[in-house]
Amino acid sequence: MSGEGLKGKVVTVSGPVDSNKLGVTLPHEHFFYDSRSRFVEPEDEIGKEYAHQSVTLENVGWITKNWINNIDNLVVDDEAVAITEAQLFKDVGGGTIVDVTNVGQPRNPGALCRIAQATGLDIVMGSGYYFGYFHPGDMDSRTEDDITKEIISDLTVGVDGTGVKAGLIGEVGFSTPFDPNEIKSLRASVAAQKECGVALSIHPGPGADSPFQIIDMLEEAGADLSRVVMGHIERSSLDMDGILKVASRGCYVEFDWFGTLNPAYPYGPVDVPSDSVRIKQIRKLIAEGHLDQVLVSHDVCFKMRMACYGGPGYAHISKYVVQWMDEMGITPDEIESLTKANPQRMLAVI
């Protein structure tokens, strides 16, 4: 891939662009997402009343606290709404959104191209496999080599015959405990990374051990850890020392739930931090010399996280968090690194 004159460029759905042209970049978002298969029917009467309602401003307060118990919340599939939401980011100076939707989710190359055209944003599409719950039925029979070739094709030829190319591998997903097919998927992703010189974004399993176990497997497979993003760091049950240990392994540390405070995590209690605590943790990472490894995003993937339903949307960091960072002692140059330089470096083909 880098041999095709792409070194230093970022492959967007509209074609390659110079990495320094991306502007403010969100490295972990979704325009289309479907998690309805994980819906849990509530047992209480109030929950039963809300479970099958469409998400509205009137019921989103309950849904935010019970997000896996409302089936409409778990699907994002409206292209027109996606354009409107993306435009809000563009309107506050946004430049690029990375859609890490991949196999196992409703990845839609054509729609991503139309969103990019309608808004003027650069959009980067993901490749590889999500976590085991969403793997295709024949995943057991797919070999590591099969998956490697598929990912390389996504990156160099295009996705599903569209000619629209992915620009990174991810988000590569993990459960707890790991599914053997998730390990196979990871090893194939590393092989494709070596061939194509792109970043690899990880969705760790729940639990504080998961990021470290994944990093160990990445190292064993020969991954370039400086090109690996450890996502969802704020829901990984890690304290500050744990986050610093992840950063010390050389990968990017991604705070991608900005705007979301959700202690009702369905896989067990997780003390998800507020935005102010996230900023304090980032400030500590900077103080310890890890500025260049920190990424920030929102992971918009449910209706409750979209601005039209009262959620943070894609513009939350630009509209509010940047100001809070400044007020809490993060310098303008450091903010520039967090929102521009770091994601641009991560996405650039080497």
The pLDDT mean for the chain works out to 95
pLDDT of res. 292: 98
pLDDT of res. 162: 97
220 occurs within a structural domain? yes
Tell if the pTM clears 0.95, that is, is over it. yes
> Is the pLDDT reported for residue 4 higher than 70?
no
294 occurs within a structural domain? yes
What's the domain count of the chain? Answer: 1
186 occurs within a structural domain? yes
CATH classification at residue 140: 3.20.20.140
Among the listed ranges 32-41, 82-91, 268-277, 279-288, which one has the minimum average pLDDT value?
268-277
48 occurs within a structural domain? no
Domain that holds residue 154: 100-299+316-347
Those residues whose C-beta lies under 8 Å from the C-beta of residue 258, and which sit 6 or more positions away, are 275, 278, 296, 297, 298, 312, 316, 317, 321
| CA 327 – CA 259 distance, rounded (Å) | 17
333 occurs within a structural domain? yes
Q: What average pLDDT does this structure show over 71-79? A: 97
78 occurs within a structural domain? no
Those residues whose C-beta lies under 8 Å from the C-beta of residue 268, and which sit 6 or more positions away, are 206
Among the listed ranges 85-89, 135-139, 269-273, which one has the minimum average pLDDT value?
269-273
285 occurs within a structural domain? yes
pLDDT of res. 2: 56
pLDDT tens readout for residues 217-245: 999 999 999 999 999 999 888 999 999 99
> What is the longest distance spanned by two Cα atoms in the chain?
60
Cis bond before residue 136 (omega within 30° of 0)? no
> Is the pLDDT reported for residue 263 higher than 60?
no
32 occurs within a structural domain? no
